[in-house]
Amino acid sequence: MAVSVPVLATVISLHLIAFVLAIGAESRRSKAKIMPDEYDDRTFCVYDTDASTVYGLAAFALLLVSQVVVLGVTRCLCFGKGLVTGRSSTCATLFFIFSWITFLGAEACLLAGSARNAYHTKYRGAFGQNNLSCATLRKGVFAAGAALTLLSLLTSIAYYWTHSRADTGGWEKHQNEGVGLAASNFNHHQQQGGEFEKA
């Protein structure tokens, strides 16, 4: 199976867009501030935009689509034709495992970050209480998802590349050997035929 440029372009584009969205989600995390109630002395949490949640979920979806594309093309390493034994198949298997690890790690960070960022606590404090706790997403969750997205991109490309080199290699080698053997037998029979004619 030859490497397909459209497949590579699709996978790279989806990963890079997911990376940019994850960075955007990190920079747009919801922040909260304590505000006094206008009717009494109680306090409550006021949150700003939820854009980070939208960015995180969009990055999650794009990364999922990209992984499906790679697995669909390579048939998830398990359902396609046999890989040629050797260095290429070993590398393909290793990169397959690494791509799944980085993919699942990135998706976990993006999904958990989006869910946590969307969770807004609005506990009211007691009268005159100023140290009200407003739950927010800790810094670095979406950044970790962005970093793992880049690693997922690298391992997915490496897996697709090595799989393309190893896929059906054994069958093609066997087919070529069969063609060469048939040609050799044909030439041998021709030589024998020529000897019979001379005799």
Same domain membership, residue 26 and residue 64: yes
Same domain membership, residue 145 and residue 52: yes
- pLDDT-derived band at 124 (thresholds 50, 70, 90) equals low
- pLDDT-derived band at 196 (thresholds 50, 70, 90) equals very low
Task: Give the predicted TM-score (pTM) of the model.
Answer: 0.73
Same domain membership, residue 177 and residue 123: no
What's the domain range around 160? 5-167
Same domain membership, residue 179 and residue 135: no
Same domain membership, residue 144 and residue 52: yes
pLDDT in tens, 179-189: 444 445 545 55
Same domain membership, residue 122 and residue 186: no
Count of Cβ atoms closer than 10 Å to residue 46 Cβ: 13
DSSP type of residue 103:
H
Could you give the number of structural domains in the chain? 2
Nearest to 146 by CA among 8, 3, 10, 29: 29
pLDDT at 45: 81
